[in-house]
A and B are shown apart, each in its own frame.
Chain A
Amino acid sequence: MNWLIAILQTTLFVALAPLLAGWLKRCKCYLQNRKAPSVLQPYRDLLKLTNKQPVVSEQASWLFIKAPYIIFSATILAASVVPLIAVDLPTSASADVIVMVGFFAFARFFLALAGLDVGTAFGGMGSSREMTISSLAEPAMLMAVFTITMTASTTNLSWAISHVLEQGLVLRPSFVFALFALILVAVAETGRIPVDNPTTHLELTMIHEAMILEYSGRHLALIEWASQLKLMLYGVLIANIFLPWGIAQSFTPQALGYGLLAIIGKLAVLAIILAIAETLVAKMRLFRVQEYLGFAYLLGLLGMLSHIILEASR
């Protein structure tokens, strides 16, 4: 039964990710006075791509063809760890938050290798930039996560969320710092403005798009889907750790339905905030990103210190 719900939750994760992307796009279009596509447009795009014949460069090796499947599976595994509608599921016990970060690293490793595989300058450029940014983002992310795990004294996400639920609404300075740090990292890691622009195809600015330039057809669909999943994952992480109210603690259909509604509502609000931020902020130069991520790290560190100084029990 528990396993069934875990599988259901992961499936929901995968199924809802394009919807979030569509909603985000709609919000952005509305803010920028453009005519918005339907929220279902990402599904149509994915369907179109899977039905097309993929074209692969003659220089590519087996790694290039297998990489999308590896990236997609690694992202799904990361998603299965994060509680979406219910806590205390068996999948979240099989891996904790550090393993989740490890899955992201796994996906990124293969994405960067695939970028280098074809032997063009674009791919190398994207890989180099992506690895640089992610290696700066990872300590900042872990710093924010450590603040939470030290408060809850567990690295298991499900237990951490239960802990926050038990404590009730308490204003903790460490959580506020950690929240902001995690938001900054999430924006950097999912390749949104101001770090990367998912819609750009200008050579000098693209990071993620440069790596996947040679992909087409179902391979491209998988990679796009994986990046939508990653966006949703960060959103759920932020929503459920810092505002976990509504998540199901028992496995009755009522509680699960309520949990689903709660998370959809939270994500919709988060997407609106992200859309406003993306509309207001301009993209940064690549070599300003270090300052941005350094700031995120500092926030995480402040959260950690304020936990130790102000909140620790002794």
Chain B
Amino acid sequence: MKAGIVPIHVWLPEAHPVAPSHISALMSGVMLKVALYGLIRFCFDLIDKVQWEWGVVLLIIGTVSALGGILYAMMQPNLKRLLAYSSVENIGIIFMVLGLAMIFLDNGHPDLAALGFLAALFHAFNHALFKNLLFLGAGMIQQQTHELNIDMLGGLIKKMPQTSMVFLVGCMSISSLPLFNGFVSEWLAFQTALQVDVLDNGVLRSLIPVSAAALALTAALAAACFVKVFGLTFLGVPRSRHSEKAHEVKDKGMLAATTLLASLCFLVGIFPSVIISLINRVSSQLLAHTLPNESVLSWLWIAPVSHEQASYSPPLVLSGALIAGCVCYWYLRRDPAKAIRIAPTWDCGFGGLTPRMQYTSSAFTMPIRRIFAKAWIIDEQVNKDMQGAMNQDVAAVHYALHIQDHSWPWLYQPLEREVNNLAKQVGRIQTGNIRTYLGYSFVTLLLLLWVIS
């Protein structure tokens, strides 16, 4: 529950956004990991031999949390609530991979278990990095614009260039794009899931790839979600007066902290083997096993199982990207006569583009809301104000959209009702009469005497 697993996650998006941003950063980035630490200690250390059935339970819980977390996150217009929901998603991913590790461990493949364990811990580490970065970034936005509703922001990339740069790095890491740290741990998670062929159980062998596909869906939805966050917050035209008047953060410390986190995100994405070898030591202590072939793990390559199966070399990829980018940039920019011409945005010839015409958060997520409609309780209302002679002309249209978690009406409210009912039943014995209370004491006394005699 402390980790914020669906369906008992609802306290998390309520609690985290209320705190000041640097505290929410710690809450999401570090405090959730305490629950994870407890789980790992309990399952891999205290219990002598963990059953693989528990691994399946963790895998399913993790899958539900990951998908649920990101779908709920997507619908939030409030930046910090969105980030809190996205923590639910990331914890779900970590649970999935831990479940895989347990399954492999109990089925006699401790080296693959070490791989899954590594992927889980690495993702926990990465999540701490980019979630802290994003929460701090949200704090900077809030301080400069007094606004957290992304429907009211926009165009901040020109007002706050440095903030936007570090926030972009955070968004790219959390969307698990190559060259950043989020991708490496997700890649390791996929590699773990793809090793299912060694298992004997046919059900497991078909269940795990399906959960891997769910992981792919989660990653893709996360990318869509953070395109929305960055696109609506920093790009486009300012949607409110506050965001129009925003300017760059003056405090050097704030910028330095986020820049440090952003560069860590990038560096860990390029040289993941440093962190991997650190975590490897943990898994050798806890599982008495490390990665299968430690020799293939160098600063240039990560090849968790063997070179024939899979390898990924971020430095080589980065150099390739730089070469490709520079060649086409240099080739196309060689002619100064073809400098860029600045012109107004094309408005279809009608004129008068306003910031209100831009896509909003609810507009951006509308296709996904329609496709996964069962995942939320959606209350969508369109009211028209009529006027004119026949009351036929539309004067104004009001649109209201409320999206609620399924957990509230299905889990929490029945629970609350039951607790209230129980309290009422208990209330019956409280008559307020002193003689009755003395009678209760007497009966209790008699009962206790009877018990001990």
Contact = CB atoms under 8 A, between A and B. Distances in A.
Interface of A: 50-59, 61-63, 65, 69-70, 72-74, 76-77, 80, 91, 93-96, 98-99, 102-103, 105-106, 108-109, 112-113, 115-121, 123-125, 127-129, 131-132, 134-139, 142-143, 146, 149-150, 153-156, 159, 213-214, 217-218, 222, 286-287, 290, 297, 300-301, 304-305, 308-309, 312, 314
B200 interface: yes
B368 A297 contact: no
A205 to B, nearest CB: 14
Given A63-B235, A116-B231, A136-B371, A53 B338 contact: yes
B232 A116 contact: yes
A132 B367 contact: yes
A77 B320 contact: yes
Interface of B: 154-155, 157-158, 172, 175-179, 183, 187, 190-191, 194, 196-197, 200, 202, 205-206, 209-210, 212-214, 216-217, 219-221, 223-224, 227-228, 230-232, 235-237, 307-313, 316-317, 320-321, 324-325, 328-329, 332, 337-347, 353, 355, 357-359, 363-368, 370-371
B248 to A, nearest CB: 14
Contact of B338 (A93, A98, A217, A222): A217
A300 B232 CA distance: 34
B227 A112 contact: yes
A106 B178 contact: yes
B194 A119 contact: no
Contacts of B310: 96, 98, 154-156
A154 B308 contact: yes
Label chain A's interface by main secondary structure. helix
A233 to B, nearest CB: 14
A115 B232 CA distance: 11
Given A109-B177, A124-B364, 15 more contacts: A59-B236, A63-B235, A72-B325, A77-B321, A105-B175, A105-B178, A117-B231, A117-B235, A123-B359, A138-B220, A153-B309, A154-B310, A156-B311, A300-B213, A304-B210
Contacts of B197: 150, 153, 312
Label chain B's interface by main secondary structure. helix
A124 B216 contact: no
A127 B353 CA distance: 19
Contact of B187 (A76, A91, A98, A112): A98
A152 B228 CA distance: 38
Nearest to A290: B371
6 contacts: A72-B325, A105-B223, A119-B155, A131-B228, A136-B371, A214-B345
Contacts of B158: 61
Contact of B368 (A76, A117, A132): A132
Contacts of A52: 338
Contact of A51 (B194, B313, B338): B338
B358 A124 contact: yes
Contacts, number: 250
Contacts of B228: 131
Contact of A94 (B196, B231, B312, B340): B312
A139 B206 contact: no
B359 A127 contact: yes
A116 B227 CA distance: 9
Nearest to B232: A116
B434 to A, nearest CB: 67
B177 A150 contact: no
B343 A57 contact: yes
Looking at B190, B196, B316, B357, the one whose CB has the most chain A CB atoms below 10 A away is B190
B344 A54 contact: no
A119 B237 contact: yes
Looking at A51, A59, A112, the one whose CB has the most chain B CB atoms below 10 A away is A59
A135 B176 CA distance: 13
A88 to B, nearest CB: 11
Contact of A214 (B317, B337, B346, B363): B346
B236 to A, nearest CB: 4
A58 B344 contact: yes
A314 B338 contact: no
The 5 closest A-B pairs by CB, nearest first: A124-B359, A116-B231, A135-B220, A119-B236, A131-B224
Contacts of B370: 287
A161 B370 CA distance: 39
Contacts of A80: 320
Nearest to A221: B332
Given A105-B220, A146-B194, A290-B371, A113 B312 contact: no
Contacts of B346: 57, 120, 213-214
A112 B320 contact: no
B260 to A, nearest CB: 23
Looking at A72, A77, A301, A309, the one whose CB has the most chain B CB atoms below 10 A away is A77
Given A128-B367, A159-B308, A286-B367, A118 B230 contact: no
